[in-house]
Amino acid sequence: MTVRLCLLPFACILLISSCNYAGKTGNHGPIVLGDSSTIVTETDSESLKDLVTEITPPAQEEQQQPQDTVTSQQPAQDSTQIKAVKQPAEQQTKKPEAIAAATQPAGQGLSVAFKEVTVFIPNIVTKSYRNQHPERANGATYQLAGGTINGKQIKVSGGNVTKISQRYQTIIMIKNQVGTLQLDALSNTTDWKPLRGGSNTYYISGLDPSKLEYTKASTSAIRNAVQRATRAHRMSRRYAQEWMQSVRNVRATNQRPLYVVLKSVVWKIEGKNAQGRAFQKQLRIDIPTP
């Protein structure tokens, strides 16, 4: 009994020592899932900061850098400059009815500046369906959009013009209740005829409707021309018969329902440049058919 009492204090000392050793190692046993006492919640904002810098891949940096540069460095007036640069490209993508041909203000006339000479016809309006560069060519073609040609003047400047000649082309048209039909097989082109004038001013004449030269044809030739025109337009048999019926009693190309129409006029400008070399330019104006 005495031995047991002596050993009791020694056992207590061993127990207390073992508890202190366990606290130093921090071994609290296995963590139990769902036990709230084992969950640590951090409330200090300084400890919650992200200390890792976000890294942007090089590919994205290259893509984003130009955009950021334009946004941050471009002044407000650059938008006007960019718009002005893009305007010509937008005009090229458009499909207008025609490109203005005259360099003079609208309604004042047609001015065509060839390399050796400038040709001007006042008081007409013209248009062109393609870009032309008369300064690098020997000819130019336009379509009449307003005014009349007969009786007008041709004024030249910048070269020693010695002669201006004129020729024109006529076509036969037919008109009935269906509409109008152009008979290309009955076209006529005149010979060159010199215009009256001088001192850089010449006068357009010979284009009166009643004095126009035209193709003369027989009844069978007229019918053949009508048949060729209906085939060219791929008309149905019904409409083709109506056109043929319209000319059943026609004996001449100037007899109703046929009539003569001026299709185009060409002027040949001849002269010498400042070096004494001869030049020749041609200007054509097409007349829209009624």
Task: Name 206's Cβ contacts closer than 8 Å, sequence gap at least 6.
Answer: 150, 166, 168, 193
Q: What is the pLDDT of residue 16?
A: 55
CA 19 to chain centre: 93
Q: What is the pLDDT of residue 14?
A: 56
Place of tokens 């215009």: 195
The answer to the question of residue 257 being in a domain is: yes
Please work out, in degrees rounded to the nearest 5, the angle formed at the alpha carbon of residue 280 by the alpha carbons of 276 and 285: 145
Helix 237-246 crosses helix 219-232 at what angle (to 10 degrees)?
150
Please work out, in degrees rounded to the nearest 5, the angle formed at the alpha carbon of residue 260 by the alpha carbons of 210 and 258: 120
Q: What is the pLDDT of residue 15?
A: 55
Q: What is the pLDDT of residue 43?
A: 53
98 touches 143 (CB < 8 A)? yes
The answer to the question of residue 151 being in a domain is: yes
The answer to the question of residue 199 being in a domain is: yes
Q: What is the pLDDT of residue 198?
A: 86
Q: Which residues form the domain of 238?
A: 99-286
The answer to the question of residue 111 being in a domain is: yes
The pLDDT averaged over each successive group of 10 residues in the chain (290 residues) is 53 54 46 46 46 40 36 38 36 40 56 95 93 94 95 92 96 91 96 94 95 94 95 92 92 94 97 92 93
The answer to the question of residue 88 being in a domain is: no
| Number of domains making up the chain | 1
The answer to the question of residue 51 being in a domain is: no
The answer to the question of residue 84 being in a domain is: no
Question: Does the global pTM surpass 0.85?
Answer: no
The answer to the question of residue 61 being in a domain is: no
